[in-house]
A and B are shown apart, each in its own frame.
Chain A
Amino acid sequence: MYRYDDRDAEFVRERIARFRDQVQRRLRGELGEEEFRPWRLMNGVYLQLHAYMLRVAIPYGTLSAVQLRRLADIAERYDRGYGHFTTRQNIQFNWPRLVDIPDILEQLAEVEMHAIQTSGNCIRNITCDPWAGVAADEIEDPRPWCELLRQWSSDHQEFTFLPRKFKVAVSGGRRDRAAVRIHDIGLRLRHDDEGRTGFEVMVGGGLGRTPILAKTIREWIPGEELLSYLTAILRVYNRYGRRDNKYKARIKILVHELGTEEFRRQVEAEYTAGRRPELARLTVAEIARIRPFFAPPDYADRSPGTDPCAKHAAADDAAFRRWLSVNTAAHRRPDHAIVEISLKPPGGVPGNMTAAQMRLVATLAERCSHGEIRVTAEQNLVLPHVARADLHTVWETLDTAGLATPNLGHLSDIVACPGLDFCALATARSIPVAQAIGRRFADLDRQYEIGPLKLKMSGCINACGHHHVAHIGILGLEKRGRESYQITLGGSGGDEAAIGRVLGPGFAAEEIVDAVERVITTYLTNRRDPRETFLDYLRRVGFQPFKDALYAPV
């Protein structure tokens, strides 16, 4: 993992001091809310439905045991004993007081964490593949580049007052697990024929009220030129992105209005004129400095003679076997596994974790995952380095804390934003709907029969729950003073990214679970065979059977 040097630490401390000063001036009335708001947001603080909310960055989703334990302490001391993991590798606390936030930030800084640019019209937390560094199909660990981007984007002199927020994701796998195409900039790490590291650059993706997938504007930019190239993209956006209408201010609208070709031309012209050799030289030096932090841990000490995991799996331990096949994935080392920790127990709040659970996972990570944890965009955690010999113990331990629900990638592994229970922008609740669906489909055999399925829901058009890229998406709206839930089908993230289509009129809160049930039944009854997944079936037959099932007059 990356560790701060004295300068990184000083940068964060200085930034907190500035924010503390801004908070005090706000409290004394020297700063009005208008002048305060951008600084508040750029330090992760929202004014939500009931209180302030603090969003803490987990840069590129990598977290240490020490950091997770500190999050537990903060949850207990300043919140109500839990935290909420979001779809952007952040954690949110729902109840901090403004006056305490500078102190909280200092406690985070002690463990090399911050809330810098987790909100505001600036470059947000850089996200990446949660399996970075361990995935069997990885081209190269993208995290050194994410760390470079984290530093470069922090307090950027030119790009801190953009027309709108700006999200960057980096993927280093052969498969895209960072959903790069729904980001303002998506980067896919690739090597050229000479083995040099570089990136395919995609621009203009995003969900919200105008969901669009990012387009490739350059097949390959050499690594040392990355920052000059991103500078060019951001400069074109900063200068020409719309500022007259916040719903049209994202870069995707600029790309759309100019056309991809013209946008590319402008970026290339700006890049050619603005290339900075010093930036390239420093990128080379800085990447060389950062890379060793991400060297693999010393796996040797846990390499077993015999694999007790195999013993348990062979034994009649059905529960363990289920978990093993559903919640673990192939590690680049055959004697290790990637363990997914489900934060989606039946009836639970997607992405929520209590302080006690955080401490348990922290300790477990220290004993069995080289002290490392990852946070996923699907609101789960990952233990990235578990020796197969430890899998049974890890499973037992997670199970005692309700963290071993074997539902990864299945229907009850629901992604849900906070919705109207917490969010000031929400038009409907999402948590209770997710809970009800989770309970209805709690039966694991039924979920396995249904097969891989992604259900995601958002409590308003902003789409923080990524419902557009779900196989089954649910969008909560308000219709005449009541909640109304719209179903979207056929979306998908990653490599076969696609934006789902709205099926028809919305359903009332009391009806939505039944409606999902009818969608599922339609698929189960009509699929060609159990190997035909929900998405395959939908792509083969189209929307009509689902429309008939949901809207046909009785």
Chain B
Amino acid sequence: MKDSGMETDRRTGTIITANRLRDGRVVFLGAGGWTTEIADATVASDEQERRALEALARQSVVTCEVVAPYPVAVVDDRGRPVPVALRERWRIFGPGPGTETGYAGGGEAVRVPV
């Protein structure tokens, strides 16, 4: 398996991600069910394991726990799975710092003339 820019000796695998139906938050399928922590995601290391995870995910769609599950290729980063694709990395680690403020320059003093 070759991925440009990736070190090929790192263990690769697949995790399943989805959004929780009720609140939309990003979740991962782990041993204890769906979790918001990617560190707790179960990594499928072969086709068969991945299929088993996908079957579980489909079940969770039927029970209305999650919506739109899909597999994400990951590499191992010191015991934590990290997605290969740019989009998936931002989905999990974003939004970036400073992208949620209204005014980055401080000075929230709110004063209105009388």
Q: Is the CB of B24 within 8 A of A363?
A: no
Chain B 17-71 residues near chain A, CB threshold 8 A: 19, 21-26, 61-64, 67-68
Query: Closest B-chain residue to A427, C-beta based?
Result: B87
Query: Closest A-chain residue to B112, C-beta based?
Result: A363
Select which of A393, A401, A480 is within 8 A of B108 by beta carbon: A401
Chain A 475-491 residues near chain B, CB threshold 8 A: 478, 480-483
> What per-residue 1/0 map shows which CB atoms of A12-34 lie under 8 Å from chain B?
00000000000000111100010
> How far is B37's CA from A406's CA once the two chains are assembled, in angstroms?
43
> How far is B102's CA from A420's CA once the two chains are assembled, in angstroms?
18
Select which of B68, B94, B104, B111 is within 8 A of A435 by beta carbon: B104
Q: How many of B's residues come within 8 Å of A, CB to CB?
A: 40
Select which of B24, B104, B113 is within 8 A of A393 by beta carbon: B113
Residues of chain A with a CB closer than 8 A to B107's CB: 400-402
Q: Is A238 an interface residue (CB 8 A)?
A: no
Residues of chain B with a CB closer than 8 A to A353's CB: 102
Select which of B19, B95, B96, B109 is within 8 A of A47 by beta carbon: B19
Q: Is the CB of A422 within 8 A of B95?
A: yes
Q: Is the CB of B101 within 8 A of A49?
A: no
> How far is B110's CA from A388's CA once the two chains are assembled, in angstroms?
23
With contacts A97-B22, A345-B105 known, is A29 near B62, CB below 8 A?
Answer: yes
Q: Is the CB of B4 within 8 A of A346?
A: no
Query: Closest A-chain residue to B19, C-beta based?
Result: A47
Q: Is the CB of B23 within 8 A of A421?
A: no
Residues of chain A with a CB closer than 8 A to B105's CB: 345-348, 402
> How far is B89's CA from A482's CA once the two chains are assembled, in angstroms?
11
Q: Is A82 an interface residue (CB 8 A)?
A: yes
Q: Is the CB of B4 within 8 A of A354?
A: no
Q: Is A397 an interface residue (CB 8 A)?
A: yes
Q: Which secondary structure dominates where chain A touches chain B? A: mixed
Chain B 63-114 residues near chain A, CB threshold 8 A: 63-64, 67-68, 84-87, 90-91, 94-96, 98-105, 107-113
Residues of chain B with a CB closer than 8 A to A393's CB: 113
Q: Is the CB of B23 within 8 A of A97?
A: yes
Select which of A352, A360, A481 is within 8 A of B5 by beta carbon: A481
> What per-residue 1/0 map shows which CB atoms of A341-360 lie under 8 Å from chain B?
00101111100111011011
With contacts A349-B104, A359-B110, A482-B86 known, is A27 near B21, CB below 8 A?
Answer: yes
Q: Is the CB of B112 within 8 A of A26?
A: no
A311 to chain B, nearest CB (A): 17
A170 to chain B, nearest CB (A): 30
Residues of chain B with a CB closer than 8 A to A349's CB: 98-102, 104
Select which of A98, A364, A432 is within 8 A of B96 by beta carbon: A432
Q: Is A126 an interface residue (CB 8 A)?
A: no
Query: Closest A-chain residue to B94, C-beta based?
Result: A421
> What per-residue 1/0 map shows which CB atoms of A259-278 lie under 8 Å from chain B?
00000000000000000000
With contacts A356-B108, A400-B111, A483-B86 known, is A98 near B21, CB below 8 A?
Answer: yes
Can you identify 13 A-B contacts, CB atoms within 8 angstroms?
A: A33-B68, A47-B24, A50-B26, A51-B25, A52-B23, A52-B24, A81-B102, A349-B98, A349-B102, A359-B110, A422-B99, A429-B96, A481-B3
Starting from the known contacts A397-B113, A400-B109, A426-B90, 13 additional A-B residue pairs (CB-CB under 8 Å) come to: A48-B24, A49-B90, A51-B25, A349-B98, A356-B102, A420-B90, A421-B94, A421-B99, A422-B99, A431-B95, A480-B4, A481-B84, A481-B86
